[in-house]
Amino acid sequence: AKTTISVIKADIGSLAGHHVVHPDTMAAAAKVLAEAKSKGIIVDYYITHVGDDLELIMTHRKGVDAPEVHEVAWNAFKEAAKVAKELGLYAAGQDLLTDAFSGNVRGLGPSAAEMEFVERPAEPVIVFMADKTEPGAFNLPLFRVFGDPFNTAGLVIDPKLHDGFKFEVYDVIGGKYVIMNLPEEMYDLLALIGTPGRFVVRRVYRKSDNEIAAVVSVERLNLIAGQYVGKDDPVAIVRAQSGFPAVGEVIEAFAFPHLVAGWMRGSHFGPLMPVSQRNARCTRFDGPPRVVALGFQIKNARLIGPADLFDDPAYDETRRLAQTIAEYMRRHGPFMPHRLGPEEMEYTTLPAVLQKLQNRFVEAKLYEVKGPKVKTELLHE
């Protein structure tokens, strides 16, 4: 029998702004999942949070996109949001954009990453969960894990990894995807995923046998809602060891706190700081963006663990560097490139401010302005 792991998350409201999930809302969600477990819809679950995002980690036998499992997640979020409203939590029900559930949470506000596989005798899996950033935040680390031998020694020395991996890249605006083979198409892949707001690494497969290696939630909340309603705060699942990168190779990619979009009002670049579960809450300028990594073994669809992988002094220097970068970026105040560029700001409340200035401008054509010479459909639409 195949096993499925589904990580489905939503922001259903937070204690003190967008800082952290309230324990009572987690308890409400836990009740729904416990009932689903006793009914046999899911085999096991683990509930946690990163910042203001409630994270449901579930294992079952029903495959990806199973309506029953998505309904369990949806009901858990609904119950949690009910408690959030009772407690008057901030932005209660934030990511639940509709009341009409119809078999899948996709497009309704929550995000999901799911994969199905035949369990190996020992099946180590790492669940990454981030707050105050977007799905493309995983582009750089996943490239390094599955494509860069300076990160992953196994790509060079392990015959089972040596053929490389396939990356499925999803165009969140065009609604299409492309599969690229590494190492041979590395430069083309980078040409796409270097634009993480649009081209998101959605899945990674082992090239030799198409075995699923990683999956990322790709829901872009602002694109779904048509306006800024919070950041998409993504999740990812990565399999490790025995034919996949080692656990240490997977989490090594997070030792560099790269700049990601999100942070305050979802409108700023800041460093992605790997933190322990204990520090999975957002403070300074509603951040900085944070990521938690929980390691599990999956056995007969049961979740063994978790291990809190960034809860370790080995990541202290990464966090220190992240603080330094946070300080440096913050000093730019409202200026780009701390603040995001105009395309992303479209979805925020900035256009309303700019609108007021429209008729203050005085016509003054000092020179002829020509358009760019190269127009590619992928980059300009």
Residues that bind ligand 13P (CB under 6 A): 11, 18, 51-52, 94, 131-132, 230-231, 233, 246, 248, 264-266, 286
Annotated catalytic residue 299? no
Size of the site for Mg ion (CB under 5 A): 10
Burial degree of 157 (CB within 10 A; 0-12, 13-18, 19+)? exposed
Based on the residue annotation, tell me whether 171 is a catalytic residue of this protein. no
Q: Which residue in the set 230, 234, 245, 295 belongs to the binding site for Mg ion (CB under 5 A)?
A: 230
Task: Report which residue's Cβ sits closest to ligand 13P.
Answer: 230
For position 131 contacting Mg ion by CB under 5 A, the verdict is yes
Residue 78 or 265 with smaller CB distance to ligand 13P = 265
The helices-and-strands tally (H runs, E runs) of the chain is: 10, 15
Q: Tell me the two tokens of residue 195.
A: 């634009």
Place of tokens 């294992």: 59
45, 46, 228, 315: which is the annotated catalytic residue? Answer: 228
What's the rounded Cα separation, in Å, for the pair 246 and 226? 40
Return the ∠ at Cα 106 (arms to 102 and 107), rounded to 5°: 90
Least separation in angstroms between CB 334 and ligand 13P: 15
Check 9, 11, 95, 132 and give the catalytic one. Answer: 11
State yes or no: is 365 an active-site residue: no
Rounded distance between C-alpha atoms, residue 94 and residue 219, angstroms = 15
Please report the DSSP string for 201-227 in residue order: EEEEEETTT--EEEEE----HHHHHSS
To ligand 13P, the closest distance from the beta carbon of 217 in angstroms equals: 13
Selected catalytic residue, list 207, 231, 233, 315: 231
Cα–Cα–Cα angle for 63, 64, 65, rounded to 5 degrees: 120
Q: How many Å apart are CA 135 and CA 138, to the nearest integer? A: 6
Q: Can residue 123 be called a binding residue for Mg ion (CB under 5 A)?
A: no
- The binder of 266, among Mg ion, ligand 13P, none, by C-beta within 5 to 8 A per type, is ligand 13P
Q: What is the binding site for Mg ion (CB under 5 A)?
A: 11, 18, 51-53, 91, 131, 230-231, 233
Active site residue ranges:
11, 228, 231
